[in-house]
Amino acid sequence: MHDQLASLYPQHLATLRERADQALAFGGFDHLVIAAGTPLRKFLDDQDYPFTVNPHFKHWLPLTDAPGSWIVYTPGSKPKLIFLQPRDYWHVVPQAPHGYWVEHFDISIVRNAADATAQLPTSHRAVIAASGDGVEANNPAAVLDYLHWHRSYKTSYELALMREASRIGTRAHRAAEASFRAGRSEFGIHLTYLAAARQTDAELPYSSIVGLNEHGAVLHYTSFDRVPPAHSRSFLIDAGASAAGYASDITRTYASAQAAEFQALIDSVDAAQQGFVAKVRAGQSYPELHIHAHHVLAGVLREHGFIRMSAESAVESGVSSTFFPHGLGHPIGLQVHDVAGFQQDEHGGSIARPAGHPYLRMTRVLEPGMVVTIEPGLYFIDMLLAELRDKPVAADIDWARVDAFRQYGGIRIEDDVVCTDSAPENLTRDAFALL
């Protein structure tokens, strides 16, 4: 892996420099200054929240734990890393920079924040930072819009890291499934996942969702019951992993050996999901793919006896949204929900979501180099089902069958998929296959 990254990194950095040159020209700036960031202090406390690096910083180099450090790039010059390595015996001090990327930077090691900021250019600078990073940030829109737009197109180096994040995540998913089959609690399954990923909660790209039985109906369930249920009928896990700051985002749903009817529904959603993945191709409108998913999933609801209306009627009346209330997916990369999903072009702007679909996280047309998640689901959510019961279309619902499935919570199946010049690359399924 190291040799592969070493060979791919120079072109990645050259691409970032070209993008930065253009972004600075658009904004009228001479320097790009990027903060790694600093930890956030807890309210009325002397402890910090876990550190999360600025995504713009880790785009340039694989450092995710260098708080107080800075990158300075001036067109025509070698990029500079100002690396904060404090004198500190209370905490682990970051190691001096090393690895395949260091030769591409001028590196200055400093001992305190004041010495770091003293080395920053003071005029005509675009500063990408948060308010607490010690330097007044301007975060110019012209610069950010250009950089965010082009961040949608992953370099070969980035894709290599995303494949690695998928390998780590799928390995941990396999362990979590085995933990479910062994009858462990949600908390026990989560601990199994962390051990298999060899990452802490703070190192994962997002908080894991580990839901047994009815908890699968809570879209962002993160409570982790400590005691296993009397009967583990179903299991939904939405959990990812990180590789040098790049994320994987993977969801799988499992049925117990006794839940054959739920397994049949999982199989139908899985087949539908693979059909949607096959449509991740250049020129495909993501909102249109989302609407297509509603029609296919409505067909699954009809096939399995939950609704008596046509798939078209289920979508038009909003019935499909009761069972599939979120978006089909989102961009992914340096962040789980990556930037520019709604952006109109490299100069900004916004593309509206289709009416009636407020939770869709991407409205762009797919292009080669983009990586998106494809994560359809079907759920039995008490609040939404109660609202549906009060509508005229309730007569076309088999409520006895719906009620029988509440005990399973719901289904979501999610893969990370690369749009290429031809057939899509499914990072998630490829990683599971390697296992």
Residue 170 and residue 417: Cα distance in Å, rounded?
A: 14
Burial class (CB in 10 A: 0-12, 13-18, 19+), 2: exposed
Residue 397 and residue 385: Cα distance in Å, rounded?
A: 10
Residue 263 and residue 244: Cα distance in Å, rounded?
A: 36
* Type of residue at 276: F
| 303's tokens | 């096939």
Return the exposure string of 71-88: e unless at least 16 CB atoms fall within 10 Å of the residue's CB, then b: bbbbeeeebbbbbbbeee
Low-confidence ranges of the chain (pLDDT < 70): none
Residue 34 and residue 295: Cα distance in Å, rounded?
A: 44
Helices in 285-375 by DSSP H: which ranges? 286-303, 311-316, 319-323
Domains annotated for the chain, with CATH where assigned, are 2-151 (3.40.350.10), 156-434 (3.90.230.10)
> Is the alpha carbon torsion for 18, 23, 26, 29 positive or negative?
negative
Q: What is the largest CA-CA distance in the chain?
A: 71
Residue 242 belongs to what H/E stretch? strand 242-243
pTM: 0.97
Give residue 431's pLDDT: 98
Residue 434 and residue 415: Cα distance in Å, rounded?
A: 15
Tens digits of residue pLDDT in 35-73: 999 999 999 999 999 999 999 999 999 999 999 999 999
* Type of residue at 255: A
**302 touches 310 (CB < 8 A):** yes
Length in residues, the chain: 435
Give residue 90's pLDDT: 87
**81 touches 97 (CB < 8 A):** yes
| 328's tokens | 């089909």
Residue 272 belongs to what H/E stretch? helix 260-278
Closest CA to 277 of 409, 160, 420: 420
Residue 377 and residue 326: Cα distance in Å, rounded?
A: 8
CB atoms within 10 A of CB 89: 5
Q: Going by C-beta distance under 8 Å and a sequence separation of 6 or more, which residues neighbour residue 62?
A: 5, 99, 101, 161, 244, 245
Residue 100 and residue 10: Cα distance in Å, rounded?
A: 9
Backbone Cα Rg of the chain: 23
